[in-house]
Structure 1
Amino acid sequence: MEFFGSLQSLGIEAGTGLMFAMLLFLLVTGIPLAYVTLLVALFFVLGWFGPSAVPLITSRIYSFVSSFVFVSVPMFVLMAAILDRSGIARDLFDAMKLFAGRMRGGVAVQTIFVAVILAAMSGIIGGEIVLLGLIALPQMLRLGYDRKLAIGVVCAGGALGTMIPPSIVLIIYGLTANVSIGDLFTAAFIPGAMLAAFYVAYVLIRTRMNPDMAPLGDLSGVDRTEKLRLAKGLVLPMLVVVGVLGSIYGGIASVTEASAVGVIGVTLSTMVRGEFSFRMMIDAALQTLQTVGMIVWIGIGATALVGVFNLMGGIHFVTELITGISDNPVLILLFMMVILFVLGMFLDWVGIALLTMPVFVPIIVSLGYDPVWFGVVFCMNMQMSFLSPPFGPAAFYLKSVAPPDISLGEIFRALLPFIGLQALAVGLLILFPALAYY
Structure 2
Amino acid sequence: MDNGMALWMFAAVFIVLLSGFPVAFALSGTALLFAGIGVQFELFDVAFLQALPNRLFGIMNNQTLIAVPLFVFMGVMLERARIAEDLLETMVELFGSLRGGLGIAVTLVGMLMAASTGIVGATVVTMGLLSLPTMLRNQYNPAIACGTICASGTLGQIIPPSIVLVLLGDVISTAYQQAQLEMGIFAPETVSVGDLFAGALLPGLGLVALYLLYITITAWLSPTTMPAPEQKTREQGFYLRVTKSLAAPLLLIFSVLGSIMGGLATPTEAASVGATGALILALAKQQLSLEKLLDVMQNTTRVTSMVFMILIGAALFSLVFRGFEGEELIIDILSDLPGGQFGAMFSVMLVMFLLGFVLDFIEITFVIVPIVGPVLLAMGLDPVWLGIMIAINLQTSFLTPPFGFALFYLRGVAPAEISSGQIYKGVMPFIFIQLLMLAILAFWPQLATWLPSTLYGEGL
What is the TM-score of this pair, normalised by structure 2?
0.90
Q: Which moved more, 1:366-375 or 1:213-222?
A: 213-222
Which aligned pairs between 1:2-151 and structure 2 lie closer than 5 A?
A: 8=1, 11-13=2-4, 15-48=5-38, 49=44, 52-97=47-92, 99-151=94-146
Query: Deviations along 1:61-120, whole A, 9 cap, x unmatched?
Result: 331232111111111111111122112111111222354233211011011111111111
In percent, how many aligned pairs have the same letter?
35
Native 8 Å contact 1:91 1:230 kept in 2: no
* Aligned: 1:279 with 2:279: no
Over 3 Å counting, the alpha-carbon distance change for 1:219 and 1:261 in structure 2 is farther
Q: Which residue of 2 aligns with 1:5?
A: none
Query: Deviations along 1:393-414, whole A, 9 cap, x unmatched?
Result: 1011112211122233332222
* Structure 1 position 323, deviation (Å): 1.7
Native 8 Å contact 1:396 1:408 kept in 2: no
Over 3 Å counting, the alpha-carbon distance change for 1:28 and 1:243 in structure 2 is closer
Native 8 Å contact 2:138 2:229 kept in 1: no
* Structure 1 position 415, deviation (Å): 1.1
Question: 2-side partners of 1:148 and 1:159: how far apart?
Answer: 17
Q: Structure 1: where are the runs of 5+ without partners?
A: 1-7
* Structure 1 position 218, deviation (Å): 4.7
Over 3 Å counting, the alpha-carbon distance change for 1:364 and 1:210 in structure 2 is same
Give the paired residue count.
428
Give the one of 403, 421, 442 matched to 1:391.
403
Which aligned pairs between 1:39-438 and structure 2 lie closer than 5 A?
A: 39-48=29-38, 49=44, 52-97=47-92, 99-178=94-173, 179-436=191-448, 437=450, 438=452
Native 8 Å contact 1:64 1:303 kept in 2: no
Native 8 Å contact 1:79 1:262 kept in 2: yes
Native 8 Å contact 1:94 1:233 kept in 2: no
Query: Deviations along 1:115-139, whole A, 9 cap, x unmatched?
Result: 1111111211111111111111111
Question: 2-side partners of 1:362 and 1:23: how far apart?
Answer: 21
* Structure 1 position 51, deviation (Å): 5.3
Q: Which residue of 1 aligns with 2:41?
A: none
Question: 1-side partners of 2:9 and 2:299: how far apart?
Answer: 34
Q: Which moved more, 1:75-84 or 1:24-33?
A: 24-33
* Structure 1 position 364, deviation (Å): 2.1
Native 8 Å contact 1:323 1:332 kept in 2: yes
Query: Deviations along 1:175-200, whole A, 9 cap, x unmatched?
Result: 11112110100010000001111111
Question: 2-side partners of 1:247 and 1:99: how far apart?
Answer: 30
SS at match of 1:238: helix
In structure 2, what residue type is equivalent to 1:25?
I
* Structure 1 position 224, deviation (Å): 2.0
* Structure 1 position 25, deviation (Å): 2.8
Question: 1-side partners of 2:410 and 2:29: how far apart?
Answer: 33
For the aligned residue pairs, the C-alpha RMSD in angstroms reads 1.6
Native 8 Å contact 2:399 2:406 kept in 1: yes
Question: 2-side partners of 1:18 and 1:332: how far apart?
Answer: 22
Native 8 Å contact 2:49 2:320 kept in 1: no
Over 3 Å counting, the alpha-carbon distance change for 1:61 and 1:91 in structure 2 is same
Query: Deviations along 1:264-318, whole A, 9 cap, x unmatched?
Result: 1111011111111111110111111122222122211112101211232211211
Question: 1-side partners of 2:425 and 2:327: how far apart?
Answer: 38
Query: Deviations along 1:238-271, whole A, 9 cap, x unmatched?
Result: 1111111111112111100111101111110111
What is the TM-score of this pair, normalised by structure 1?
0.94
Over 3 Å counting, the alpha-carbon distance change for 1:260 and 1:162 in structure 2 is same
Native 8 Å contact 1:364 1:371 kept in 2: no
In structure 2, what residue type is equivalent to 1:356?
I
Q: Which moved more, 1:403-412 or 1:293-302?
A: 403-412
SS at match of 1:224: coil
Q: Structure 2: where are the runs of 5+ without partners?
A: 39-43, 174-190, 453-460
Question: 2-side partners of 1:327 and 1:225: how far apart?
Answer: 61
In structure 2, what residue type is equivalent to 1:32?
P
Native 8 Å contact 1:105 1:217 kept in 2: no
Native 8 Å contact 1:121 1:244 kept in 2: no
In structure 2, what residue type is equivalent to 1:114?
V
Native 8 Å contact 1:364 1:370 kept in 2: no
Where does structure 1 differ by over 6 angstroms across 4 or more consecutive aligned residues? none
Q: Which moved more, 1:151-160 or 1:411-420?
A: 411-420
Q: Which residue of 1 aligns with 2:456?
A: none
SS at match of 2:237: helix
SS at match of 2:413: coil
Q: Which residue of 1 aligns with 2:186?
A: none
Question: 1-side partners of 2:75 and 2:7: how far apart?
Answer: 40
